[in-house]
Structure 1
Amino acid sequence: MSETPYTDDDLRTEAARQHRAATKDPDFVGIGEQMEGHKIASRGNVQWDELGEGDWDRATRAVDGLLESAADVSEWAINLGADGLVPSADHALGVTADGRPIARVLFAYVPDVPEEARTALRQAIDAALDDAEPANIDPDVTTGEAMGPADDLSLQLYRAQDALAFVEECCAIADQEQRPITTANVREWLKGARCGRQLLAAGDLTAPVDEQPGGRP
């Protein structure tokens, strides 16, 4: 029985609510005040408040619109921080159809995940997305027909998740044995032992796990 009248999930839910409230309905005048003295990223030392009146007005209104339409990722932000995961702003993978994005995969890692493992994971998921990416969206497609590509992508991402867990285990063993870890090692480990749930998802339970390709270092 819990020692408190609330759970950890209750705390996360409340934190997410307050996180969202802190960024909702920003004050328009305050937006301009926060832009003053800050450089425009693509313009070197040029600051926002050095713009002409018309450009300044358009810029502040555009920022206001972006803040108003910002996705509510407060729950994600709270859970990532609570779990010790750090978002990566450098990489994002997406699925597009008819020239517009329809899905996006963002990454967050615990700080001690090797860069080789991060790169290999991104490449594995990117390949899965390429295999499952639809060329076009058919407005007449049925729910059943649409589930095929979705199930394929789900399976590929499921396998990528297991692959990362296997890589992390191999990295831990290599660290314990004080052996260097190379990109080639990580790529090979990503092909490694397929666990039981992967075999079940793939519908292939005929071969014992220990006969599958790959293995621990």
Structure 2
Amino acid sequence: MTDRPYTDEDLRAEAGRALSALVHLPTVEEIVASLRQSYIPHLHADGDLVTWGSVLDEDELAEAARQIAERMIPAAPVGEWAVNLGADGLEPTAHVINLDSPDGPFVRLHLAIHPDMPEADRLRLHKGMRHAIITAVGEPDEDEEVDELGDSDGDVLDLIAEIASRLRDATDEGEYHAVGLVYDLASGRTTCAEARRDLADITLRHV
């Protein structure tokens, strides 16, 4: 028992609420004003300084802004979650575990890891957690034989992700971004449709 009438958990909870209260959902007009001078993310990642305002007219900007506003409304309140991560010295990573239903994503686990953990260990952690979850929610029938010597889809994807991660460090420009797409696909960070769209905008040397 401390001499304070509140706990550290109380402080974290209030910090999360205060952080969430700072969020102001901009109007469509405010988004349009910001978009005019903002770089289009996937083009900017390739080094192109293309702004939304340079390729869209006012009506098209308004439509894009409306769609952006619609995506902000259902955004999850993660203020307290973010405060707790920072207080514990953890940082969110790109490693996620997805469980999909026929109608789309059903469960998504986001991992937060200490910044000192090496990438190879992060990949092993991600692989182990995904394998454990898939085993728990999708155990084979008692009569079903399991080939323990075979490579599962998860093993293959994890290896592809690790190879892509290493290749990215050895490539540049278009090749860097193409390898990044491979990594994102294997890690579940993007869909095939999104990757195909992004790939069409990448220029590869000698291709």
RCO higher in 1 or 2 (8 Å CA, sep ≥ 6)? 2
Q: For residue 11 of structure 1, what is the amino acid of its counterpart?
A: L
RMSD of aligned residue pairs (Cα, Å): 2.0
Partners of 1:20 and 1:74 within 8 A in 2: yes
* Structural mapping, 1:75-86, within 5 Å: 75-86=80-91
Partners of 2:35 and 2:61 within 8 A in 1: no
SS in 2 for 1:23: coil
Q: For residue 70 of structure 1, what is the amino acid of its counterpart?
A: A
Go from structure 1 to structure 2 and tell me whether the alpha carbon gap of 1:130 and 1:5 turns closer, same or farther (over 3 Å shift): closer
Could you list the runs of 5+ residues in structure 1 that have no partner in the other structure?
135-148, 150-217
Go from structure 1 to structure 2 and tell me whether the alpha carbon gap of 1:82 and 1:66 turns closer, same or farther (over 3 Å shift): same
State yes or no: 1:53 paired with 2:58: yes
Partners of 1:94 and 1:101 within 8 A in 2: yes
Which among 113, 116, 135 is matched to residue 131 of structure 1?
Answer: 135
Q: TM-score, normalised by structure 2?
A: 0.58
Which among 104, 119, 122 is matched to residue 118 of structure 1?
Answer: 122
Go from structure 1 to structure 2 and tell me whether the alpha carbon gap of 1:18 and 1:28 turns closer, same or farther (over 3 Å shift): farther
CA distance in 2, matches of 1:133, 1:80: 27
CA distance in 2, matches of 1:27, 1:15: 26
Partner of 2:112: 108
Partner of 1:95: 99
**How many residues are aligned here?**
134
Deviations 1:113-147 (A, max 9, x none): 1222211010111222333456xxxxxxxxxxxxx
SS in 1 for 2:111: strand
CA distance in 1, matches of 2:105, 2:136: 14
State yes or no: 1:21 paired with 2:21: yes
Q: For residue 54 of structure 1, what is the amino acid of its counterpart?
A: D
Which among 67, 70, 93 is matched to residue 62 of structure 1?
Answer: 67
Partners of 2:90 and 2:112 within 8 A in 1: yes
Go from structure 1 to structure 2 and tell me whether the alpha carbon gap of 1:95 and 1:23 turns closer, same or farther (over 3 Å shift): same
Fraction of identical pairs, as percent: 35
Deviations 1:71-130 (A, max 9, x none): 111121111011110111x22110011141110011111111122221101011122233
Deviations 1:139-174 (A, max 9, x none): xxxxxxxxxx8xxxxxxxxxxxxxxxxxxxxxxxxx
Partners of 1:95 and 1:129 within 8 A in 2: no
Partner of 1:36: 36
CA distance in 2, matches of 1:4, 1:53: 56
The structure with more radius of gyration: 1
Q: For residue 132 of structure 2, what is the amino acid of its counterpart?
A: A
Partner of 2:156: none
User: How many Å apart are 1:57 and its aligned residue?
Assistant: 0.7
Q: TM-score, normalised by structure 1?
A: 0.56
User: How many Å apart are 1:56 and its aligned residue?
Assistant: 0.4
Partners of 2:91 and 2:112 within 8 A in 1: yes
User: How many Å apart are 1:49 and its aligned residue?
Assistant: 2.1
Partner of 2:11: 11
SS in 2 for 1:33: helix
